[in-house]
Chain A
Amino acid sequence: SQELEQSPQSLIVQEGKNLTINCTSSKTLYGLYWYKQKYGEGLIFLMMLQKGGEEKSHEKITAKLDEKKQQSSLHITASQPSHAGIYLCGATRNNDMRFGAGTRLTVKP
């Protein structure tokens, strides 16, 4: 099983709706990263969380790391077609990073 589990695997929402993507770790998270990927392209860094309870926002995207540091959520408010893509969470482990399988988001206009 994967060290990082993301849910849902895919999500289709109507433009303007809110949505949440979750990332659950089997181990304590010391650095949790959120990336976005357009199909066939590289990953774009969104945010990094380190402290339990930490919350960060970038435009209409908010990410939280729970107090126990084993789960993170990514929330998008008033989704737009530009939000479509694959969202991946990543966790640092020693000298490298482990990634979840990703959540594919489709936003219907």
Chain B
Amino acid sequence: DGGITQSPKYLFRKEGQNVTLSCEQNLNHDAMYWYRQDPGQGLRLIYYSQIVNDFQKGDIAEGYSVSREKKESFPLTVTSAQKNPTAFYLCASNKQGPDTQYFGPGTRLTVL
């Protein structure tokens, strides 16, 4: 089946540790996105990538890093510099910028 997968579903991290969230898609989409969702605030864009080996910062990129070495994969690293990392993280993809975005099931990160 075609789709977007995110792993793990739940992730716990101690303060000061970096953690990497996985996002994989087999939809042959060129563009991929990372969002953060906090209660009552909707989705905020962290990073996005329109093509392999290229990515751009979104509205809240500080404390996060990404890579796009393969078309199918867009991992997000939450670094220790992110001051409030506890949130629900959503990955999405589409053919290109203005097209409909399709979402993965999300990863809930909790910093202990």
Contact = CB atoms under 8 A, between A and B. Distances in A.
Interface string A8-25: 010000000000000000
A98 B6 CA distance: 21
Contact of B41 (A31, A94, A101): A101
Chain B, interface SS category: strand
Given A31-B98, A43-B90, A96 B103 contact: no
Contacts, number: 59
**Most chain A CB neighbours (cut-off 10 Å) among B41, B50, B100:** B100
Contacts of B31: 95
B29 interface: no
A97 B101 contact: yes
A48 B108 CA distance: 27
B97 interface: yes
Interface in B53-101: 56, 58, 88, 90, 92, 96-98, 100-101
A57 interface: no
Interface in A25-59: 30-31, 33, 35, 40-45, 48
A96 to B, nearest CB: 6
A88 B35 CA distance: 14
B97 A95 contact: yes
B4 to A, nearest CB: 8
Given A95-B31, A101-B41, A40 B108 contact: yes
A74 to B, nearest CB: 15
Given A40-B88, A41-B105, A42-B103, A92 B98 contact: yes
Which 7 pairs from chain A and chain B are nearest by CB?
Answer: A95-B97, A42-B103, A101-B42, A43-B103, A99-B43, A42-B105, A99-B42
Interface of A: 2, 9, 30-31, 33, 35, 40-45, 48, 88, 90, 92, 94-102
